[in-house]
Structure 1
Amino acid sequence: MTAAPRRVLIADDHPVVRAGLRALLEGAADLDVIAEAGTGEEAVRLAVELAPDVVLMDLRFAGTGGGIDGIEAIRRLTAQAPGLPVVMLTSYSGRAEVVRALEAGARGYVLKAGPPEDLFRAVRAAAEGGLGLATEVVGELVGQVVSPAAELTEREKEVVRLMADGHSNRSIANALFLGEATVKTHLVRIYRKLGVDNRAAAVSEAVRRGLLELM
């Protein structure tokens, strides 16, 4: 007896991209596209209503009038439809993007410019409860996701708290009786550990991880 095809929901803000993905996926006998979404909000709504086997989610929904991005959509799905596999589809392979997606709950990460085999493998792996990653991004995870996230030191947590309060590097240095060069060194380490590249993102990630509540 032949198994039923895996039901896939495509979420991307570009109609041409959605059409291409649909044609590609439906060319595989074991995959069936059941719906398309053009925004993160629509993706969450349809995923909850239709309960697909896998959601193929765009990382960034450009030009959607301030709507949610793929990361936030995954977080909402995690709360509203626990266990629903999501594969992130993106043009970005940077470590910070990969880490954010996987930590939000994505079960796969595929590059739009990658080979179709990566897409098929990721969708099937996610549907079966595994993790599907494009070959190009696996290297980004070494020492970052496959191993436990690096912990911030108590001093680094103090720096993040002061950043959250709006303090400049000089103000942080004065408050902690440090030199500005030392504060900059702490910031570099904090950014690396949190997988971000600026102050606002560092504070946001620290809040999401609950680090500010620990201080």
Structure 2
Amino acid sequence: MTVQEQEQNKMEDKIRVIVADDHACVRAGVRSLLGQIGHVAVAGEADSTQALAELLDSCACDVVVTDLGMPGIDGESNAIQFLRRLLDQAPHLPVVVLTMIHQPSILMGLLQHGVAAIVDKRDMTASLIHAIDAGLTGQGYLSDHACAAIAKAEAPQPRAGVMSAGEWKVFTMYVSGMTISQIAVRLNRSAKTISTQKRNAMRKLGLETEADVIDYACQIGLT
């Protein structure tokens, strides 16, 4: 048996994890942490949603550990829409979200769409391995900070509906600093239509005020 075949057999005996984050230091931290655990191995790394999609097509894995605030596909500014599609297409693949987002409605929405676990990056050292194991057994997992964030909401409920591509585009243009009128001109739509799409996007994200919009945009790297 060749060295390559031996290494392949070793990998198959372990939990194969794909790690996705646009910050090399975070990926290195996750790789180092998982390297200390005998039954887990990093099968591949990605620094964008596009790279993650390509890796999933070419690399066998048992769990995906991913950030949300990464460059997305087709101009998307984060990985949320991609993860929604992934979870619809591969519902049995455990996805562990590693994030600094602390908005209850967003975290609840991720759980609603089938994310196996959410780990706040501040809890990574203490919680990531537990989250991976829990995701594989279908138990679900929230790290301490993620659990506390959700608990802050009064009877938190995930918002109904998923944003359309048009609503997301309007929302990202708005948080980039464009006015409703400017967006209407750019997209050749009426200001009333753009305003409605912006409100719908806010409602589906669970955002009620302009301060909420700014906070959300900062959390996922839109600003």
* TM-score (norm. length: structure 2): 0.62
Q: Distance in 2 between matches of 1:103 and 1:52?
A: 23
Residue by residue, what CA displacement relative to the aligned partner does 1:160-184 show, whole Å, maximum 9, x if unpaired?
Answer: xxx984568xxxxxxxxxxxxxxxx
Counterparts of 1:58-207 in structure 2 under 5 Å? Answer: 58-61=67-70, 66-67=75-76, 69-142=78-151, 143-144=155-156, 149=158, 165-166=193-194, 191=203, 195-197=206-208
1:12 maps to: 21
Pair 1:78–1:68, CA change in 2 (3 A):
farther
Where does structure 2 lack aligned partners over 5 or more consecutive residues? 1-11, 161-190, 214-223
Q: Distance in 1 between matches of 2:192 and 2:119?
A: 33
Residue by residue, what CA displacement relative to the aligned partner does 1:84-117 show, whole Å, maximum 9, x if unpaired?
Answer: 1111111122213312322332111111122512
Greater CA deviation, 92-101 or 52-61? Answer: 92-101
Q: Distance in 1 between matches of 2:125 and 2:205?
A: 31
Answer whether contact 2:48 2:71 (CA < 8 A) is retained: no
Pair 1:50–1:68, CA change in 2 (3 A):
farther
Residue by residue, what CA displacement relative to the aligned partner does 1:143-162 show, whole Å, maximum 9, x if unpaired?
Answer: 225xxx577xxxxxxxxxxx
Higher-RCO chain (CA-CA 8 Å, sequence separation at least 6): 2
2:64 maps to: 55
Where does structure 1 lack aligned partners over 5 or more consecutive residues? 152-162, 169-186, 203-215
SS of the aligned residue for 2:37 comes to: coil
Residue by residue, what CA displacement relative to the aligned partner does 1:3-36 show, whole Å, maximum 9, x if unpaired?
Answer: 9321100001111211111011111112111100
Q: Distance in 2 between matches of 1:167 and 1:8?
A: 42
Q: Which amino acid aligns with 2:123?
A: G
The share of aligned pairs that are identical, in percent, is 30
SS of the aligned residue for 2:65 comes to: strand
* TM-score (norm. length: structure 1): 0.64
Which residue, out of 25, 28, 36, partners 1:27?
Answer: 36
Alignment RMSD (CA, Å): 3.4
Residue by residue, what CA displacement relative to the aligned partner does 1:184-214 show, whole Å, maximum 9, x if unpaired?
Answer: xxx9xx95x8622358x99xxxxxxxxxxxx
Determine which structure has the larger helix proportion and give its number. Answer: 2
Greater CA deviation, 135-144 or 85-94? Answer: 135-144
